[in-house]
């Protein structure tokens, strides 16, 4: 199984959601990007778990990002992933950076956040952040006419 790192890209309206131990979190209307690692035994197949959870919202959330995936306020629009054996998740989070939700998705590292906010679709910024990390991003749309787009 291919290993790597990935981003989940959500579009949402303004809302407040309970997020596990973080408690109620206020989210601005716009786009949120979650940076994750797929270096475990399942590798990048982890993305399929996220997509299934976003479509079947009746599951109980386990991780911070699951609260977004199971919320009807957040739509998972696309994913961005790259194959790597290196632990580059935090480097990618730093390269993308910007306004983030403090302590979201980063309980196992020293990053300030792994969930970032943008007012506009961040696709161009994400491609640049992946390239700055030395990776070739693959964007996969997850809603309405899914298709893979290879970035070269």
pLDDT per residue rounded down to tens, the chain (152 residues): 699 999 999 999 999 999 999 999 999 999 999 999 999 988 898 888 888 888 887 788 888 999 999 999 999 999 999 999 999 999 999 999 898 999 999 888 889 999 999 999 999 999 999 999 999 999 998 763 344 444 43
Q: Which two tokens stand for residue 69?
A: 């995936």
Angstrom CA distances, 99 to 54, 62, 94, 114, stand at 24, 24, 11, 10
If 0-12 CB within 10 Å is exposed, 13-18 middle and 19+ buried, where does residue 131 land?
middle
Domain that residue 85 falls in: 4-150
**Which H helix or E strand runs over 6?**
strand 4-12
Domain count, the chain: 1
């Amino acid at each position: 199984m291919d290993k790597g790192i990935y981003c989940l890209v959500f579009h949402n309206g303004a809302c407040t959601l309970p997020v596990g131990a973080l408690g109620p979190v206020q989210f601005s209307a716009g786009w949120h990007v979650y940076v994750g690692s797929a270096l475990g035994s399942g590798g990048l197949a982890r993305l399929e778990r996220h997509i299934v959870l976003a479509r079947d919202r009746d599951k109980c959330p386990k991780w911070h990002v699951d609260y977004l995936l199971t919320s009807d306020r957040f739509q998972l629009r696309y994913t961005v992933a790259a194959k790597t054996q290196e632990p580059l998740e935090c480097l990618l989070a730093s390269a993308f950076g910007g306004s983030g939700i403090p302590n979201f998705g980063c309980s196992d590292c020293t990053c300030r956040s792994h969930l970032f906010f943008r007012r506009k679709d961040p696709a161009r910024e994400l491609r640049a952040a992946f390239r700055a990390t030395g990776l070739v991003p693959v964007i996969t749309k997850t809603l309405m006419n899914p298709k893979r787009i290879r970035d070269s």
